[in-house]
């Protein structure tokens, strides 16, 4: 592991002295290290030692009284590729599990967008206590990584489980994480998401119910696996989490088309999850259309088909994946779209399946390959569906 931004959080436990070795290991392997300490941790290891080893000032307070500078926990949370809290005392673990933010280490934890690792360290009875075990479980269920405590002689003189994992073990856990994270590093991916709005007049538009959830989940999964992601999104309320995602907001099919054509030249993979309007008003009224006659005719024209046009210009090294949102003749229509749009895979979701399609947190998909073989999946959360899609792209397409 090298070149990563690692934020090390130190709390007030006797194992704090060992963190000097962890910081040294990280720096020696050319990672950038910043250290945030709780006020109590300063009693166990000096900030001077850690500042010298990390080559960075140590952060303890919200605010630096000498020059009035504010230590931004938000900036630190965004800067870090990983946040490692070691030692993590029972007190800090309990606060993390309950969203308590009464020091800089904890506010940074609540702001962190990166993976968080924590290495519990405490006396055996504290470690065994139901409250501590429940708090550790809560943190793990929320996606934090625990680096398990080990058994042995404790500072109290007692023997049992509660010793912080050795610095080398903590370092190896980080290396392992970044190794498995790298499957798609260096790859660039374009993803479309959300609906498009086609304006009729200044207040009305033709749109659809797409929330962006499916496309955003795919973007997060690609980014998690190390890819650089360009996400071109129609009007949605969603926000991205991973800083490897660059989001471009568009409104109409025409804007989405132009942005995608511009970005496609540079990418390895494109996934079209947006629900793009197929037709738009031939002209947009300058002023709000007044209510007059019993009926109103709006002349529509075709929008550019992004997937279809990209299918015409794609190189053999580029992979394109489309979606088919169907209500009837599902499989047949999806296979036609796969062929006509020159896609490598198509993901079929049917509005006839409960919990699938627009604006749900779940989806039920079938993946159809170029050779027309089909993989059927159960209903799952869109996050899990995104994993299945990315896995299929990695397994079948990148291995060629
Ligand atoms: O956003 P959510 O609420 O999470 O909902 C997710 C979803 C239902 C929108 C998504 O899973 C989905 O199915 N997206 C594609 C919807 C769609 O427009 O399907 P289609 O069968 O009409 O289009 C086929 C393919 O061509 C799609 O990949 C579409 O993005 C693409 N297309 C269509 C028209 C167009 N002008 N340009 C395109 O690129």
Share of the chain above pLDDT 70, in %: 97
Q: What is the atom index within ligand 1 of the atom nearest the CA of 217?
A: 4
Q: With a 6 A CB cut-off, is 306 part of the ligand 1 pocket?
A: yes
Q: Is the pLDDT of residue 399 over 60?
A: no
Choose among 246, 193, 217: nearest CA to 387: 217
> Distance from the CA of 105 to the center of ligand 1, in angstroms?
43
Q: Is the pLDDT of residue 75 over 90?
A: no
Average pLDDT over residues 150-164: 87
Average pLDDT over residues 328-335: 97
Q: With a 6 A CB cut-off, is 310 part of the ligand 1 pocket?
A: no
Label residue 55 by pLDDT band (50, 70, 90). very high
Q: Is the pLDDT of residue 67 over 80?
A: no
Q: With a 6 A CB cut-off, is 364 part of the ligand 1 pocket?
A: no
Neighbours of 145 (CB within 10 A): 17
> Distance from the CA of 194 to the center of ligand 1, in angstroms?
8
Label residue 180 by pLDDT band (50, 70, 90). low
Average pLDDT over residues 359-377: 95
Label residue 19 by pLDDT band (50, 70, 90). very high
Average pLDDT over residues 382-400: 84
Shortest-distance Cα residue to atom 20 of ligand 1? 324
What pLDDT does residue 191 have? 98
Q: With a 6 A CB cut-off, is 255 part of the ligand 1 pocket?
A: no
Average pLDDT over residues 61-82: 78
Q: Is the pLDDT of residue 22 over 70?
A: yes
Q: What is the atom index within ligand 1 of the atom nearest the CA of 321?
A: 28
DSSP collapsed to 3 states, the chain: CCCCEEEEEECCCHHHHHHHHHHHHHHHCCCEEEEEECHHHHHCCCHHHHHHHHCCCCECCCECCCCCCECCHHHHHHHCCEEEEEEECHHHHHHHHHCCCCCHHHHHHHHCCCCEEEEECCCHHHHHCHHHHHHHHHHHHCCCEECCCEEEECCCCCEEEEECCCHHHHHHHHHHHHHHCCCCCCCEEEEEECECCEECCCCCEECCCCCCHHHHHHHHHHHHCCCEEEEEECCCCCCCCCCCEEEEECCCHHHHHHHHHHHHCCCCEEEECCECCCEEECCCCCCCCCCCCCCCCCCEEECCCHHHHHHHHCCCCCEEEEEEEECCCHHHHHHHHHHHCCCCEEEEEECCCCCCCCCCCEECEEEEECCCCEEECCCEEHHHHHHHHHHHHHHHHHCC
Shortest-distance Cα residue to atom 23 of ligand 1? 324
What pLDDT does residue 99 have? 97
Active-site hit among 32, 208, 242, 342: 208
Q: With a 6 A CB cut-off, is 365 part of the ligand 1 pocket?
A: no
Q: With a 6 A CB cut-off, is 276 part of the ligand 1 pocket?
A: yes
Partners of 269 in the β-ladder: 189, 319
CATH 3.40.50.1950 occupies which residues in the chain? Answer: 5-182
What pLDDT does residue 18 have? 97
Q: How would you label 317-330 residue by residue, b for 16+ Cβ within 10 Å and e otherwise? A: ebbbbbbbbbeeeb
Whether the model clears a pTM of 0.75, i.e. scores above it, the answer is no
> Distance from the CA of 122 to the center of ligand 1, in angstroms?
52
What pLDDT does residue 149 have? 94
Q: What is the atom index within ligand 1 of the atom nearest the CA of 208?
A: 9
Q: With a 6 A CB cut-off, is 307 part of the ligand 1 pocket?
A: yes
| Tokens 């606060």, residue located | 95
Average pLDDT over residues 19-38: 97
Q: What is the atom index within ligand 1 of the atom nearest the CA of 303?
A: 36
Q: With a 6 A CB cut-off, is 119 part of the ligand 1 pocket?
A: no
Q: Is the pLDDT of residue 360 over 80?
A: yes
For the chain, report the end-to-end CA distance as a whole number of angstroms.
27
Average pLDDT of the chain to the nearest whole number: 93
Label residue 159 by pLDDT band (50, 70, 90). confident
- The CATH number for 184-285+295-398, chosen from 3.20.20.70, 3.30.160.250, 3.40.50.10300, 3.10.20.30, is 3.40.50.10300
Q: What is the atom index within ligand 1 of the atom nearest the CA of 359?
A: 3
Q: What is the atom index within ligand 1 of the atom nearest the CA of 212?
A: 1
31 included as an active-site residue:
no
pLDDT digits (tens, 9 = 90+) for 214-271: 999 999 999 988 899 999 999 999 999 887 889 999 999 999 999 999 999 999 999 9
Average pLDDT over residues 143-166: 88
Choose among 360, 358, 363: nearest CA to 388: 363
Give the Cα separation of 1 and 63 in Å (integer): 32
Q: Is the pLDDT of residue 396 over 80?
A: no
Neighbours of 303 (CB within 10 A): 19
Q: Is the pLDDT of residue 309 over 70?
A: yes
Neighbours of 48 (CB within 10 A): 9
CATH 3.40.50.10300 occupies which residues in the chain? Answer: 184-285+295-398
- The CATH number for 5-182, chosen from 3.40.50.11750, 3.40.190.150, 3.40.50.1950, 3.40.50.720, is 3.40.50.1950
> Distance from the CA of 231 to the center of ligand 1, in angstroms?
14
Residue to probe by mutation, ligand 1, list 277, 325, 331, 364, most atoms within 8 Å of CB:
325
Q: With a 6 A CB cut-off, is 345 part of the ligand 1 pocket?
A: no
């Amino acid at each position: 592991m090298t070149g990563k931004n690692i934020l090390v959080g130190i709390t007030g436990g006797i194992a704090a002295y060992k963190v000097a070795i962890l910081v040294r290991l990280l720096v020696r392997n050319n990672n950038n290290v910043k250290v945030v300490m709780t006020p109590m941790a300063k009693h166990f290891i000096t900030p001077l030692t850690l500042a010298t080893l990390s080559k960075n000032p140590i952060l303890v307070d919200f605010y630096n009284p000498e020059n009035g500078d504010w230590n931004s926990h938000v900036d630190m949370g965004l800067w870090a590729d990983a946040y490692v809290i070691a030692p993590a005392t029972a007190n800090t673990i309990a606060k993390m599990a309950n969203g308590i933010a009464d020091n800089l280490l904890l506010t940074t934890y609540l702001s962190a967008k990166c993976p968080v690792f924590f290495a519990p360290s405490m006396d055996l009875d504290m470690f065994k206590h139901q409250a501590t075990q429940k708090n550790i479980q809560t943190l793990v269920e929320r996606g934090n990584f625990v680096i398990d405590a080990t058994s042995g002689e404790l500072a109290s003189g007692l023997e049992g489980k509660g010793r912080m994992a050795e610095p080398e073990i903590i370092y190896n856990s980080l290396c392992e994480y970044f190794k498995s994270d790298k499957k798609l590093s260096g790859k660039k991916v374009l993803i479309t998401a959300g609906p498009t709005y086609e304006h009729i007049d200044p207040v009305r538009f033709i749109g659809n119910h797409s929330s962006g959830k499916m496309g955003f989940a795919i973007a997060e999964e690609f980014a998690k696996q190390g890819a650089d992601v360009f996400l071109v999104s129609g009007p949605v309320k969603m926000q991205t989490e991973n800083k490897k995602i660059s989001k471009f907001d568009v409104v109409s099919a025409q804007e989405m088309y132009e942005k995608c054509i511009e970005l496609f030249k540079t990418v390895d993979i494109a996934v079209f999850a947006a629900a793009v309007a197929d037709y738009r008003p031939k002209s947009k009224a300058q002023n709000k259309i007044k209510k007059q006659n019993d009926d109103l005719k709006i002349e529509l024209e075709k929008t550019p088909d992004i997937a279809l046009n990209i299918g015409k210009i794609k190189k053999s090294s580029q992979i394109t994946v489309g979606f088919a949102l169907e209500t009837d003749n599902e499989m047949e229509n999806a296979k036609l779209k796969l062929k006509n749009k020159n896609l490598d895979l198509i993901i079929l979701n049917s509005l006839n399946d409960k919990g699938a399609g627009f604006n749900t947190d779940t989806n039920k998909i079938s993946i159809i390959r170029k050779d027309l073989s089909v993989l059927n999946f159960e209903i799952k959360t869109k996050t899990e569906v995104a994993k299945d899609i990315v896995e299929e792209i990695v397994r079948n397409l990148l291995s060629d």
